[in-house]
């Protein structure tokens, strides 16, 4: 497993290179819960890479890669059986849309948080994705500039070690 380390002050370090990262508005927490806005602490494997084929080239990565479709979503409703799983939209439960108007999900690495097994209320849709221009906090994800995200994936990164404060 090739790791990058994420620090609570918004630094992502891989092989001596330092990248600026946006983290959750709730900080970094070992006891992540749905809706707290925190980035979960721990070793988070990268499961696969999703991308907007209409906007970016297929990212180089040591992971499975799949294009995002307009009907792709991710269930974030802890009361639904599809909680923290990809879904097809429209969906009867509350979901995150993956096909976004902004560039935040142009490249998305799905992080292995609360997925093996899924526990209701422990957090969902935790991704490594593209940061907004001024690096505002995320809802719990880790976000990098598009070029930095592409470089991290192309370097063969397969996990993030998120350090608790």
The pLDDT value recorded for residue 50 is 98
The pLDDT value recorded for residue 45 is 98
CA angle 89, 77, 98 (to 5 degrees): 40
What integer best gives the mean pLDDT of the chain? 98
Low-confidence ranges of the chain (pLDDT < 70): none
The pLDDT value recorded for residue 158 is 98
Which residues, 6+ apart, have CB-to-CB distance to 68 below 8 Å? 50, 51, 52, 53, 98, 99, 105, 108
Domain locations in the chain? 3-162
What is the pTM (predicted TM-score) of this model? 0.98
The pLDDT value recorded for residue 118 is 98
* Residue range 121-138, pLDDT digits in tens: 999 999 999 999 999 999
The pLDDT value recorded for residue 1 is 84
Give the DSSP H or E segment for 148.
Answer: helix 146-154
């Amino acid at each position: 497993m090739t790791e990058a380390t994420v620090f609570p002050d918004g630094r992502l370090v891989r092989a001596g290179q330092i990248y600026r990262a946006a983290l959750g508005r709730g900080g970094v927490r070992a006891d992540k819960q749905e809706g707290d806005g925190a980035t979960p602490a721990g070793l988070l494997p990268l499961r696969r890479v999703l991308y907007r084929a209409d906007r970016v080239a297929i990212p180089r990565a040591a992971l499975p890669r799949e294009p995002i479709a307009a009907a792709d979503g991710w269930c974030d409703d802890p009361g639904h059986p599809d909680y923290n799983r990809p879904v097809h939209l429209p969906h009867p439960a509350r979901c995150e849309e993956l096909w976004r108007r902004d560039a935040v999900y142009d490249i998305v690495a799905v992080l292995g948080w609360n997925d093996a097994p899924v526990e209701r209320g422990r957090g969902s849709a935790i991704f490594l994705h593209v940061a907004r221009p001024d690096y505002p906090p995320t809802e719990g994800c880790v976000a990098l500039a598009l070029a930095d995200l592409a470089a991290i994936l192309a370097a063969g990164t397969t996990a993030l070690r998120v350090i608790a404060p």
